[in-house]
Amino acid sequence: MSLSNDELVRFWRKNAPLPLPYFDDRQVELFFEDEEELLHFADAIRNFLTLGPADRIADTMHLHAYYRDFTEDVGFDWVDPEMRHLAPGSPDIWHFVSPTSLGAMDSWDVGAKDRSKPYVVLEANCGWEVEHGLLMSWREGVELVKVSGYDGHATNGHAYSDLSKDQYIYHSQRPERCTMNPAVVPPRQPRSFLRWPWKKGD
């Protein structure tokens, strides 16, 4: 799906829902303050509109990480009852996601504070986290860099003011629940010069 600047502006002016190929053409509201802001992010939006269902399915593991993190901490009382029978890793989890709005923002580049990039940010309701919903962010509209609840941040590095968090797409306080961003090389750990057990004469 390719839209000219004029076509994007018409969608925004008329408050017309925009179909997203990533979500099988399910429709969302364009959330921008004014035309100037919309056009600033036009290229990133067009990039995002090239993503399709296969890209969505490839991102399934990150939603499952969020779902598992929430249910293991909170339980299933607030979860859509039909989700209790969801198989681990099943793409059927997308049936419980309802996209609502599409916006964009400039933020730190992944792994760097000294330069910025545009991010396309989608908000959605989901069947497991009623209060905080689902936020997904794509660097330049193409590279998925963050899956989380609503928090107003385009990257995990910015959300935690810690660039090492950019190695994760879904970040949890429990490392085993995180999912990795394959495009980011984790920061190198400082080498230790201690050896154990120590040998006499060391």
User: Do the beta carbons of residue 33 and residue 39 sit within 8 Å?
Assistant: no
Q: In this structure, what are the phi and psi dihedrals at residue 13, rounded to the nearest 5 degrees?
A: -60, -40
Q: What would the pLDDT profile of 86-139 be if each residue is shown by its tens digit?
A: 999 999 999 999 999 999 999 999 999 999 999 999 999 999 999 999 999 999
Distance (Å, whole) CA 98 – CA 113: 32
Strand pairing report for 26-30 and 97-109: parallel
Q: What would the pLDDT profile of 11-70 be if each residue is shown by its tens digit?
A: 999 999 999 999 999 999 999 999 999 999 999 999 999 999 999 999 999 999 999 999
User: Which residues are paired to 125 by β-bridges?
Assistant: 98
Sign of the torsion formed by the C-alpha atoms of 9, 12, 14 and 20:
positive
Measured in whole angstroms, the distance separating CA 133 from the mean position of its chain's CA atoms is 12
What is the model's pTM?
0.90
